[in-house]
A = this chain, B = another copy of it.
Amino acid sequence: MTKLKNDRLIRALQRKPVDMTPVWIMRQAGRYLPEYRKTREQAGNFIKLCQTPDLACEVTLQPLRRFPLDAAILFSDILTIPDAMGLGLSVIEKQGPRFEKVIRTKSDVEKLGIPDPESDLRYVMDAVRLIKQELDDKVPLIGFAGSPWTVGTYMIEGASSKEFSYAKGMIYQDPDTLHRLLELLANSITEYLKAQIDAGVDVVMVFDSWGGALSGSAYTEFSLQYMEKIVCEVKQASNAKDIPVILFTKGGGMWLDQIADTGCNAVGLDWGVDIGYARRQIGDRVALQGNLDTAVLYSNPERIREEVGNVLQSYGHGDGHVFNLGHGIHPEINPEHVAVLVDAVHELSKEYHQ
């Protein structure tokens, strides 16, 4: 029994009938919005923005003031957990995240503990509570975390990476240590998501940004296995609340069946997969979220409407579709084009829900 005034997202994730396809946008609170850039400047830097609940709340709400989106997503970062573990996160402009300490040996892993969300990550929980209060149940709030593998790659590499030499090297050189780290991360992420749910989020999403860098068998063993554990434990803990869980592996188009089998409610798709193909492949076990190519937003309103129509048509009639981009929105995108996108989804999707 939801109190939400707009519960389209929740219903779609549960594959229940909706009047229109719900839509939200990965990184909807982000640099393409001038008001976001202003608040970020006010905060001083990206990390301070994440760590200051009223500013995190502010940027979370900004896109909702502009567009009739069907969800808010907590403004935060997937690296809050390793930062809370004491690795010393900094984010360097145009270079990305960097950790003071890296984790590469068994003894490195043994020194790590599971952060207590309400003390070590209090600023996140405070932000959730504040956002929920401000949202006043207008739309659901999505909480999130990075996947163990994805968060682990940053801890092992110490920064962004293209080839993941150390992290992938560990798969074949020292899988036991890697498993210990991933187990610890899975437990930390589970606690973190449970705390976000307690603080009020209505949906949780796990971002596996770098699962696609793995071979199929390594993906199953080192990424998916731990996401499955998280899904299972979060589901168990939040039974009464029935919080939907979305899993998103960028570049995971070849493993959709396996992802759907984890017990999650929805699978996020990047734009490499045809959403109609994905639906036929997976069947009606889970909802699907995605998957317009972000680059469509560089074009003009007419073309945006056309491409939105193509994604809707590819998914086809019936429930279980949450519209989104296939990755995050780029900073260069014109906000007016996002307005066109959101309106097009609502308008053009009605016929698929009759």
Chain A interfacial positions (CB closer than 8 Å to B): 163-165, 168-169, 171-173, 212, 214-218, 251, 253-254, 271-274, 277, 291, 293-296, 298-300, 303, 307, 310, 326, 330, 332
- Chain B residue at minimum C-beta to C-beta distance from A218: B293
Most buried by B among A218, A274, A295, A296: A295
A216 to B273, alpha carbons, bound, how many Å? Answer: 6
* Contact B216–A298 (Cβ < 8 Å): no
The main secondary structure of chain A at its interface with chain B is helix
Known: A298-B168, A330-B165. A277 touches B215 (CB 8 A): no
Q: How far is the CA of A224 from the CA of B273 in the complex (A)?
A: 15
Contact residue among B173, B291, B300, B310 (Cβ-Cβ distance under 8 Å from A299): B173
Distance in Å: Cβ of A211 to nearest Cβ of chain B: 10
Given known pairs A251-B272, A254-B254, the reply for A326 and B173 (CB within 8 Å) is no
A295, B216: Cβ atoms closer than 8 Å: no
Shortest A104–chain B CB gap in Å is 12
Whether B215 and A173, one on each chain, are in contact in the complex, defined by CB atoms closer than 8 angstroms, is: no
For A171, A214, A307, the residue with the greatest tally of chain B CB atoms inside 10 Å of its CB is A171
Residues of B within 8 A of A277 (CB): 216
Given A212-B272, A216-B274, A277-B216, answer yes or no on A168-B253 (Cβ-Cβ < 8 Å).
no
Sampled A-B contacts (20; CB under 8 Å): A163-B294, A163-B330, A164-B295, A165-B295, A168-B294, A172-B293, A172-B307, A212-B272, A214-B271, A215-B271, A215-B291, A215-B293, A216-B274, A217-B274, A217-B310, A251-B251, A251-B272, A253-B254, A254-B272, A254-B273
Point out which of A165, A277, A307 has the most chain B C-beta atoms below 10 A from its C-beta. A165
